[in-house]
Amino acid sequence: MSKYWDAIIIGGGAAGLFCAGIAGQLGKKVLVLDHADVLCEKIRISGGGRCNFTNLHSSPANFLSLNPNFVKSALARYPAKEFIKLVQSYRIDYHEKHQGQLFCDESAHQIIQMLLSECKKGGVIVKHPVTVQEIKQETGGWSVSTSAGIEKSKSVVMATGGLPVPAIGATAYALDIAKQFELMVVDPRPALVPLSFTADAFANLNELAGLSLPIRISSGSKGARYGACRFNEDVLLTHKGLSGPAVLQASSYWIEGEAVHIDWLGAVEVGSHFNCDELFNNEDNRLKLTETILASVLPQRLARSFAQQKNLLGRKWAEVSKKDRQALKELITNWSVKPAGTLGWKKAEVMLGGVDTKELDGQSMMSKKHPGLFFIGECVDVTGHLGGHNFQWAWASGHACAQAL
Ligand SMILES: Cc1cc2nc3c(=O)[nH]c(=O)nc-3n(C[C@H](O)[C@H](O)[C@H](O)COP(=O)(O)OP(=O)(O)OC[C@H]3O[C@@H](n4cnc5c(N)ncnc54)[C@H](O)[C@@H]3O)c2cc1C
C-alpha cells in the first residue's frame, strides 16, 4: 500500500536529489523516482570526472534564457557560496581551475555521495530503476503510475534534465509532461557542443593541429533569440577544425548558417595591456620580418601561417604596404569561419531551451497554470555558460523549489 507523499520528484540527478534532500530535511515526505540503473551519471562524468560543481562568479549574466531575469531570484537566494559551504561541511577538497571554476580534487563521486547523504538525512526514499508511465492531476494532488505501482502526492517535481548524452539515460520526459499540461516549451537545441567544420574552411590552418592558445571568440547576433556573446577562452586547433572551451561557449549562441569570429590577439590584449595598433605601427619593427613581429604575440607556427596567407612570409615590415598591414590586421583580429553544424546531442554538455519560464513562478519553479507541478534544473529554459554554472542552476532551482514544497 503506497503512502501519500508531500512530493514526488521525477529524476534523481543533480537538481532532483538536491531538492529532495532539502525538502526532506524541512520535514517533507519525499519520494524520488528515476529510470536509471545508476543514479547521477551526468555528475559522474562531469568536469572530466572531477565535477566542476559551481563557479565563484556565477551570476545572471552567465545564463541564456528567453527571459534572462528569470534566474535572478533563485540564484540570489542560493548563490555559489552556499553550495561551497555544503561541500566544505563534507570535507570535500576542491580547487579553482580557471575563471572561478571549482572542481573536486579527488572525484565527482564525492558530490554524488554528498547529495545521497543529504537525502538520507531528510528521510528521502529513492526508487530506481522505475519507469514513470503516467502523471495525472487529481483533486488536491497528483497520481503517478509507475512500473512499481501507483504513488500519490501533493506535488510533482519534474527534474529529468535535458537531452544531451542519450546513452546515459537522457530523455525529453519533462518537456513531454509540460506539453501534456499545455505549457509552452522553447525548442530544445544542443549547447556547449563541439562545432563541425568543412575541410576547406581549414585549408590554411591544417598543419597547425594540436596548437592551443587563448583567443577572443564571438558568435550570435544582438537580435537573435539569445543575443550575441564574446568570450576570452582557449581554442584548440584540430585536424577537423576548432575545439576547446572557446568553441563550446560560442556554440550556445551560434546561429545556423552564420560565422563565428575570432580575434587571435584578443586575449593577449586583455592579459598584457597589449595594443594591436602599437604593434602594427611601431617603426622600431621596420627591419624585422613580418612573421617575427607576429610571433612576439602569437605562437610561431600560427604567426608564420598568417604571414604566409597574406604572401608576407620573409618580408621586412618596412616593405609591407599600409594596405597589406591593414589586411593582415583584419585577418588576425577578425578571422571568421562558418561552422557546418554541431556534433549534436551525443556530444553536447547541456540543452538550450526547455520549459518556457513564462509558465513558471521564478520564486518557486511552480507552474502558474497547475499549482503543485514544478520544473527544476536543465529541463527549464535556463542554460549556463561553461564553467560550473549549469550545476549552480541545478542547485539554485532545486533549492527554490524545496522551499516552496
Ligand atoms: C559530459 C558532460 C559534462 C558536464 N560537466 C559539467 C560541469 O563540469 N559543470 C557543470 O556545471 N555542468 C556540467 N554538465 C552539465 C550538467 O551535468 C547538467 O546541467 C546537470 O546535470 C543538470 O542537472 P539536472 O538534475 O537537471 O539533470 P540530470 O543531472 O541530467 O538528472 C536527470 C535525471 O533524470 C533521470 N531521468 C531522465 N529521464 C527520465 C525519465 N523519463 N524517467 C525517470 N527518470 C528520468 C536521469 O536518469 C537522471 O538521473 C555536464 C554535462 C555533460 C553531458
Residue 343 CA, ligand 1 centroid: distance in Å? 18
The total domain count for the chain is 2
The reply to whether omega before 129 is within 30° of 0 (cis) is yes
121-142 burial, b at 16+ Cβ within 10 Å, e below that, comes to: ebebbbbeebebeebeeeeebb
Same domain, 143 and 222: no
pLDDT greater than 90 at residue 15? yes
pLDDT digits (tens, 9 = 90+) for 375-392: 999 999 999 999 999 999
Residues 6+ apart with CB under 8 A from 53: 47, 83, 87, 94, 102, 103, 104, 111, 388, 391
**Mean pLDDT, residues 219-229:** 91
Residue whose CA lies nearest to ligand 1 atom number 27: 161
264 close to 332: Cβ distance less than 8 angstroms: yes
Given 298, 321, 342, which residue is the final one in a domain? 342
Same domain, 9 and 147: yes
Taking CA atoms, 122 is separated from 27, 29, 158, in Å, by 7, 9, 19
Distance between CA atoms of residues 128 and 136, nearest Å:
20
Give yes or no for residue 46 CB within 6 A of ligand 1. yes
125 close to 112: Cβ distance less than 8 angstroms: no
108 close to 51: Cβ distance less than 8 angstroms: yes
List the CATH number of the domain containing 96: 3.50.50.60
Same domain, 326 and 372: no
Mean pLDDT of the chain: 93
List the CATH number of the domain containing 218: 2.40.30.10
pLDDT value of position 126: 98
pLDDT greater than 50 at residue 402? yes
pLDDT greater than 80 at residue 270? no
Q: In what order do the strands lie in the sheet with 101-104?
A: 52-55, 101-104, 94-96
Same domain, 77 and 205: no
Cell of 290: 613580418
Q: What is the DSSP letter of 265?
A: T
**Mean pLDDT, residues 86-94:** 98
pLDDT digits (tens, 9 = 90+) for 37-56: 999 999 999 999 999 999 99
Give yes or no for residue 377 CB within 6 A of ligand 1. yes
pLDDT greater than 70 at residue 269? no
Query: Which of 158, 349, 380, 389 to mutate to test ligand 1, by most ligand atoms within 8 A of the CB atom?
Result: 349
Same domain, 46 and 142: yes
pLDDT value of position 42: 96
Residue closest to 230 by CA, chosen among 347, 341, 98, 334: 334
Same domain, 34 and 146: yes
pLDDT digits (tens, 9 = 90+) for 59-73: 999 999 999 999 999
Same domain, 158 and 25: yes
pLDDT value of position 2: 56
Query: Which of 9, 42, 55, 401 to mutate to test ligand 1, by most ligand atoms within 8 A of the CB atom?
Result: 42
Residue closest to 288 by CA, chosen among 325, 326, 319, 253: 319
The answer to which of 1-15, 67-81, 192-206, 312-326 has the lowest mean pLDDT is: 192-206
Residue whose CA lies nearest to ligand 1 atom number 44: 34
What is the residue range of 122's domain?
A: 4-189+349-404
Same domain, 354 and 336: no
